[in-house]
Every structure is written in structure tokens, then in C-alpha cells.
């Protein structure tokens, strides 16, 4: 029996094995995608499909029907997940997948379980007044940025495919409709825990925690205090993730608790953006009027979100409420230290320092302060510092990034002395720096150009070009050097939008 079903699963184009659909029915609503008029496959991520163990030839041939939701493959158990969430600090008990439908899960070639979800696949019981659809622009944006994050080496959801639906969606203007196929370690969010806690469903919180531990933190299953260990491990992943966001100049833009994945992956690429000139107070999102999710606010918001998860777990931490609160507070406090540790480690590496020394924090912070004052481009500053580590004759290219180039000399002297004391060869230092200081990031103006060409002329070549260059962000690609440049005057993107 077992053997038969396994053989059968192996011959399916997507060998589904759906653990979430086996959780209590209160966790989700079963709902099929709504078929669309005239789907066309824009892009299929062959490498990811292979990693997931999917039938690449079949998916490539029938991609338009499959990745639009028009054809449901055997083994899929479509459902919309229930969740709540704090949005900009205010609690909304009733969110859930309003335009996303989980088709099911697969176990990839390394044994990792991954969700396959259609985003923009039609209304669900959680759609409220929304149409359940996605516009082409946000779909391309998520495709580009999530795949760039993967290539940059950060934990992230992935993009398996994008289709246009042949149907319009109505936003501020009429937009082409599209569907993104998203792959994630899971779509369980802080808000998923809040959903059950808000209903005082303790059994639900426990079942979800057990599922999340088994799936994302399997080493903790036998811990004497598995729920505290889970909270603490999540805190560390969150601290590490946000430190890495800062280290590449990423602003998530909408760190609501429903957009925080329990797996520790980056999820929900709505109004996200990368810094050009360094400014810790930078905000791009049109709806973030008070800068709640500004670049440098992200670590603190990570802790705020962690506190919201901790609240849902209190009854599992200790039967005595006071003891539970004390335990949770210990994790919250440790988060601050963990963040600082991960961040300083990342920034040291960016400066080419392989061993910790007193004074490193000042060296990092003084550079950042200077970059801010002098409006230096975040990405190019570090990339050209790597060039400078190998070749002193490139100093002018580095200093030219600062409004007043001469102002960098004192800091550069300190940095040279500090790097010199490490005893690594200049070539080795530069090579190490180039593995953490990307040459290419998804610059906002490039994303907008790719979207504009696709939307107005159905020209996907800028989108394809951008994906190609961002697949190797740490390699110099001289023929692609315009993609490394910040926006020219007039090209700057001032605002980004959720695009819902
Ligand atoms: P987001 O801003 O993408 O994190 O979405 C917040 C909430 O709004 C989630 O519950 C989404 O499912 C829901 N939502 C966003 N866009 C739509 C839409 N077009 N139709 C239905 N629900 C939506
Ligand atoms: Mg969301």
C-alpha cells in the first residue's frame, strides 16, 4: 500500500505531501483557485523546480494552465490559511489568505518540506472586499526581489513561476492581472499564532506550535521546554535575518505580524526596497507615514513582533502566568543581544575583518555616519571598499562616492591600519569582502523600468535581464555594469506601493 502510493506520488508532476491540510479544519478554508480567461506563462523557474523534484518538462509544457490555477494537479489540496495580524500596530483578528491559495507541499531533494502557493488565484473566504487577484507589477516585483534575496544568500520565499491571466484587475488604474507561484518553507506567520490565541483556542496554539517545531525547528522537539526553546530559536533567526537585511540595505517596508514567517524566511515583498544613498531613517512605502518600518527601525520592530508571538505562547511556557512572563521576557531581552551580535558580525565581514576586536563597532558606526552625511551609495561604498582592499590605486573610485571625497581619508587610514593588523593578504581580504558586499542589488529604478516595459509593451526583456544579472550579485559582470549604478537624477524612485 505504502509502496504503491509512493510510486504514484513519484510519477505526479508535483509529488504533493500536504501536512498543513491535516491540521484541524479551523486552521484554514478549503477553496479552489478561480480559473482565468487566457493565461500565459511569463516565467518558469526551472532550477527551483528541479530542486523541488518536480516534473520540469510537464510543468514547462502546461505551465500556463497549472500556474494560473486553471488546471489542478492530482494531489493538490487547495486551501486558504487563516491568520490574524497587527498591521502598523493595530490588531486585526480576521486576515487570512485573501488572494493566495496553498496548493500543497513537496519535500525537496534535500529533504526540506516546501509550500507551493498561488498568489492572485481568486477570492477566498478571507478576501473581505478584495478581488483575490494580483496585478502584474507586484508579481514581477516579488519575483525579482525574492530571487535576488536568494542569490544574495538570505533566507527567503522563492518564485517558481509567473503567469499573466489575460484579465484586467482594477486598482488605481486598470492593470494586467497575474499570478505568482510562491515557494516557502511554510506560510506560517506570527499572525497564524495570533489567530488562535485571539480566539482563546489553546489547543489550536499548541497544535500549531507542535507543527511549526516539527517543521522548522525539529531539533527542539525533545527539549525539556520545547515552546520556550522554539520562541528563543525563532528570536535568533529573526535577529539574524534582520541583521542581514540591514547588511545589504534592505527595507522590508511592511513588517506587520502577518508578514513575519515563523520559518525565519523573508516573506511578502510588497513595498520593499533597497537603499541607494545610505539613510537610516529611509522609508519608501507610501503607506508608512510615520516611518514605523524605516530601515533602522527594523531591529526594534523585530522585537515588537517577537513580543506578539511570545504573548500567544504564554500558556504553553508555564502554567504559572508570572513565571511564563519572566521566561518570555528573558527571550525578548536576549533578542537585542543576538541582533547586535549578528549585525556586528555581518558589518565586520563587510569591512574585511575576520576577527573581532575592541573598537570595531566604532569603526563601523563612524563609516555609516559619514556615509549618511555624505550621501554615499550603500552598496557601492562597500563594494568599492573591497576593490580598494586589493588595489590602492582605486581609492578615487571609492572616495568619489562621497559628496566631499577628501572627507573619507581619516576613516580610510583607521580602516587600513585595522585591516592590516589582521595579517591576511590584500587579495584574500578583497575576495572575502566580495562574497558579502554585492555588486548588484535590485535597484528600485531598475525594478520600475522592468515593470513599466512589461506592463505597457508586454516587453519582458528588461525583467529577464534584471533576473539574469541578479542571479550572480557577488560577481563582477563588467558587461552589466549599468545595473550596478544608482539611479541618475530623475530616475530615483521616491515611493513604493503595496500593490494589493
Ligand atoms: P498584504 O498587504 O499583502 O500583507 O495583505 C494583507 C491582507 O490583505 C492579507 O490578508 C491579504 O490576503 C489581503 N489582501 C491583499 N490584497 C488582496 C486582494 N486583492 N484580494 C483579497 N485580499 C487581499
Ligand atoms: Mg501579507
150-177 pLDDT, tens digit per residue, is 999 999 999 999 999 999 999 999 999 9
CA-based nearest residue to 187, from 158, 147, 160, 148:
158
Q: Is the pLDDT of residue 1 over 60?
A: no
Closest atom of ligand 1 to 97 CA is: 12
Ligand located closest to 500 CA: 1
Quick one: pLDDT at residue 422? 92
Closest atom of ligand 1 to 87 CA is: 6
CA distance 204 to 198: 11
75 is in an annotated binding site: no
CA distance 180 to 142: 8
User: Which residues lie near ion ligand 2 (Cβ < 5 Å)?
Assistant: 259, 268
Q: What is the DSSP string of 68-97?
A: TTSSPPTT---EEE---EEETTEEES----
Place of cell 512605502: 285
Q: Is the pLDDT of residue 4 over 90?
A: no
391 is in an annotated binding site: no
Quick one: pLDDT at residue 496? 86
Beta-carbon contacts of 403 under 8 Å, excluding residues fewer than 6 positions away, are 374, 375
3-state SS string for 29-54: EECCCCCCCCCEEEEECHHHHHHCCC
Distance (Å) from CA 132 to ligand 1 centroid: 8
Task: Give the mean pLDDT of 208-216.
Answer: 98
Mean pLDDT of the chain: 96
Quick one: pLDDT at residue 274? 98
Structural contact between residues 147 and 180, judged by C-beta atoms closer than 8 angstroms:
no
Question: Would you place residue 329 in the very low, low, confident or very high pLDDT band (cuts 50, 70, 90)?
Answer: very high
Ligand located closest to 261 CA: 2
Quick one: pLDDT at residue 5? 47
Q: What is the pLDDT of residues 282-317, one digit of tens each?
A: 999 999 999 999 999 999 999 999 999 999 999 999
Question: Would you place residue 499 in the very low, low, confident or very high pLDDT band (cuts 50, 70, 90)?
Answer: low
Residue-range domain boundaries for the chain: 2-186, 191-343, 351-500
Question: Would you place residue 410 in the very low, low, confident or very high pLDDT band (cuts 50, 70, 90)?
Answer: very high
CB atoms within 10 A of CB 38: 11
Q: Is the pLDDT of residue 388 over 80?
A: yes
CA distance 397 to 338: 35
Q: Is the pLDDT of residue 39 over 70?
A: yes
Closest atom of ligand 1 to 256 CA is: 4
Q: What is the pLDDT of residues 260-269, one digit of tens each?
A: 999 999 999 9
Probe residue for ligand 1, chosen from 98, 121, 190, 496 as the CB with the greatest number of ligand atoms within 8 Å: 98
Which residue ranges have their beta carbon within 6 Å of ligand 1?
A: 95-99, 126-127, 130-133, 258-259, 268, 270, 498, 500
Closest atom of ligand 1 to 133 CA is: 19
CA distance 138 to 164: 12
Q: What is the pLDDT of residues 421-462, one digit of tens each?
A: 999 999 999 999 999 999 999 999 999 999 999 999 999 999
Distance (Å) from CA 448 to ligand 2 centroid: 21
Q: Is the pLDDT of residue 94 over 60?
A: yes
Ligand 1, atom 11, residue with closest C-alpha: 98
Q: Is the pLDDT of residue 467 over 70?
A: yes
Quick one: pLDDT at residue 291? 96
Distance (Å) from CA 59 to ligand 2 centroid: 27
Q: Is the pLDDT of residue 102 over 80?
A: yes
CA-based nearest residue to 109, from 58, 48, 63, 62:
48
Ligand 1, atom 12, residue with closest C-alpha: 98
Distance (Å) from CA 178 to ligand 1 centroid: 15
Quick one: pLDDT at residue 409? 95
Whether the model pTM is above 0.85 = yes
Beta-carbon contacts of 35 under 8 Å, excluding residues fewer than 6 positions away, are 68, 69, 70
Ligand located closest to 99 CA: 1
Catalytic positions:
258
Amino acid at each position: 500500500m505504502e509502496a504503491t502510493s509512493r510510486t504514484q506520488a513519484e510519477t505526479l508532476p508535483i509529488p504533493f505531501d500536504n501536512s498543513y491540510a491535516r491540521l484541524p479544519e479551523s486552521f484554514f478554508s478549503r477553496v479552489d483557485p478561480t480559473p482565468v480567461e487566457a493565461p500565459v506563462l511569463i516565467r518558469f523557474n526551472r532550477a527551483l523546480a528541479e530542486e523541488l523534484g518536480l516534473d520540469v518538462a510537464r510543468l514547462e509544457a502546461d505551465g500556463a494552465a497549472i500556474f494560473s490555477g486553471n488546471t489542478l494537479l492530482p494531489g493538490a489540496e487547495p486551501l486558504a490559511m487563516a491568520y490574524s495580524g497587527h498591521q502598523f500596530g493595530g490588531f486585526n483578528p480576521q486576515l487570512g489568505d485573501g488572494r493566495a491559495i496553498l496548493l500543497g507541499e513537496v519535500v525537496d531533494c534535500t529533504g526540506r518540506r516546501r509550500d507551493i502557493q498561488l498568489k492572485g488565484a481568486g477570492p477566498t473566504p478571507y478576501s473581505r472586499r478584495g478581488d483575490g487577484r494580483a496585478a502584474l507589477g507586484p508579481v514581477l516585483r516579488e519575483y525579482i526581489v525574492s530571487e535576488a534575496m536568494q542569490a544574495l544568500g538570505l533566507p527567503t520565499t522563492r518564485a517558481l513561476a509567473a503567469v499573466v491571466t489575460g484579465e484586467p484587475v482594477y486598482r488605481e488604474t486598470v492593470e494586467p492581472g497575474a499570478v505568482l507561484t510562491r515557494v516557502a518553507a511554510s506560510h506560517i506567520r506570527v499572525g497564524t499564532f495570533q489567530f488562535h490565541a485571539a480566539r482563546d483556542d489553546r489547543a489550536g496554539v499548541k497544535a500549531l506550535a507542535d507543527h511549526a517545531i516539527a517543521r522548522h525547528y525539529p531539533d527542539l522537539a525533545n527539549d525539556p521546554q520545547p515552546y520556550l526553546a522554539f520562541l528563543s530559536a525563532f528570536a535568533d533567526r529573526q535577529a539574524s535575518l534582520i541583521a542581514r537585511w540591514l547588511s545589504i540595505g534592505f527595507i522590508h517596508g511592511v513588517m506587520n505580524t502577518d508578514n513575519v514567517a515563523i520559518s525565519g524566511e523573508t516573506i511578502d515583498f510588497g513595498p520593499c526596497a533597497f537603499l541607494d544613498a545610505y539613510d537610516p531613517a529611509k522609508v519608501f512605502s507610501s503607506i508608512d507615514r510615520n516611518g514605523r518600518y524605516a530601515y533602522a527601525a527594523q531591529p526594534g520592530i523585530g522585537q515588537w513582533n517577537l513580543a506578539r508571538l511570545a504573548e500567544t505562547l504564554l500558556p504553553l511556557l508555564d502554567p504559572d502566568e508570572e513565571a511564563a512572563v519572566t521566561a518570555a521576557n528573558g527571550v525578548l531581552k536576549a533578542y537585542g543581544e543576538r541582533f547586535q551580535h549578528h549585525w556586528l558580525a555581518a558589518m565586520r565581514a563587510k569591512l574585511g575583518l575576520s576577527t573581532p576586536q575592541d573598537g570595531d563597532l566604532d569603526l563601523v558606526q563612524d563609516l555609516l555616519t559619514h556615509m549618511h552625511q555624505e550621501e554615499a551609495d550603500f552598496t557601492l561604498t562597500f563594494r568599492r571598499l573591497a576593490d580598494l582592499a586589493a588595489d590602492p590605486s582605486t581609492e578615487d573610485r571609492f572616495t568619489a562616492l562621497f559628496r566631499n571625497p577628501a572627507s573619507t581619508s581619516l576613516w580610510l587610514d583607521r580602516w587600513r591600519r585595522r585591516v592590516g593588523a589582521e595579517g591576511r593578504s590584500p587579495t584574500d581580504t578583497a575576495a572575502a569582502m566580495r562574497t558579502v558586499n554585492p555588486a548588484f542589488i535590485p535597484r528600485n529604478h531598475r525594478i520600475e523600468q522592468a515593470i513599466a516595459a512589461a506592463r505597457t509593451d508586454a516587453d519582458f526583456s528588461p525583467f529577464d535581464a534584471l533576473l539574469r544579472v541578479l542571479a550572480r550579485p557577488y560577481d563582477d559582470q563588467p558587461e552589466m555594469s549599468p545595473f550596478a549604478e544608482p539611479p541618475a537624477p530623475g530616475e530615483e524612485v521616491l515611493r513604493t506601493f503595496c500593490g494589493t
